């Protein structure tokens, strides 16, 4: 499980428990959410296909950009999109990261107007992640 050395919990973010999800932080003031989920892979899968599968959860999505990047030295697909979640128009930054036998879904979303104010906290969180599995 990746873990971030982060001060988000001291800056208005609270830890939530969602069934079937490994780690969730929520900023009540801004309505922003960070989700980290680790999923075992039974076979070597293409990150682009894994990303498409993950994006199904977003309604009325419009992909702004999608690129291959590195997250802590691991191959990742980064997607920036606008969509709807629970009747709220959001902007999201999503990383699907390859691990050995697992994939890491690292997701940030916020209402569109709050995204510019909150995305930097997510990016600092992302920089602080340490992957515990090879």
**Whether 110 contacts 118, CB under 8 Å:** yes
pTM of the prediction? 0.87
CA atoms within 13 A on the CB side of 78: 11
**Whether 95 contacts 36, CB under 8 Å:** no
pLDDT tens for 62-105 read 999 999 999 988 999 999 999 999 889 999 999 999 888 889 99
Determine the CATH number of domain 3-130: 3.40.1000.10
Q: What are the structural domain ranges in the chain?
A: 3-130
Q: What is the DSSP letter of 8?
A: G
User: What is the per-residue pLDDT for 12?
Assistant: 74
pLDDT tens for 35-53 read 999 988 877 778 888 898 8
CA atoms within 13 A on the CB side of 45: 22
**Whether 118 contacts 83, CB under 8 Å:** no
CA 28/CA 14 separation, integer angstroms: 8
- Counting DSSP H helices and E strands in the chain, the numbers are 2, 9
């Amino acid at each position: 499980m990746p873990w971030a050395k982060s001060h988000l919990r001291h800056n208005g973010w609270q830890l939530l428990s969602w069934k079937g999800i490994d780690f969730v932080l929520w900023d009540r003031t801004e309505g922003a959410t960070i989700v980290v989920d680790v999923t075992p892979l039974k076979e070597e899968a293409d990150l682009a296909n894994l990303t498409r599968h993950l994006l199904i959860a977003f309604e009325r999505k419009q992909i702004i950009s999608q690129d291959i990047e590195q997250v802590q030295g691991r191959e990742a697909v980064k997607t920036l999109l606008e969509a709807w979640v629970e009747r709220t128009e959001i902007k999201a930054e999503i990383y699907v990261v390859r691990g050995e036998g697992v994939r890491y879904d690292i997701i940030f979303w916020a209402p569109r107007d709050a995204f510019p104010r909150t995305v930097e906290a997510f990016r600092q969180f992302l920089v602080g992640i340490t992957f515990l599995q090879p």
